[in-house]
Amino acid sequence: MVPGQQTARAPGDTGGETIERAYRPVLGGVRHLSDHETAPGNGTVVDLLCGMNHVVGSRRAAKRIYDCSACDEVRGERGGQA
């Protein structure tokens, strides 16, 4: 993938405006989903949809390699709501 280049959306991906506003921490290259719209303050423990949690500010921002499939699945079960 070339930085700055638009990537084609996967089939079935309707754009997910709601999800684009969600705080999605990248942990070890895996991008997770949270219930937060924006990043809470440092030190806040954020529950991720897949059941993991993440302490905001505990890690350096990482480059996203792929999305957490478990988080995506939970999002799907919620009918696309983040």
Phi/psi of residue 32, nearest 5 degrees:
-105, 170
The piece of 11-19, 24-32, 34-42, 55-63 that touches Zn ion (CB under 5 A) is 24-32
Q: Which is nearer to Zn ion, 37 or 73 (CB)?
A: 73
* d(C-alpha 27, C-alpha 57), whole Å: 11
Question: What kind and span of H or E run contains 54?
Answer: strand 53-55
Q: CB 74 → Zn ion: shortest distance, Å?
A: 8
Q: Which of 24, 32, 54, 75 binds Zn ion (CB under 5 A)?
A: 32
Residue numbers at the binding site for Zn ion (CB under 5 A)? 32, 48, 50, 68, 71
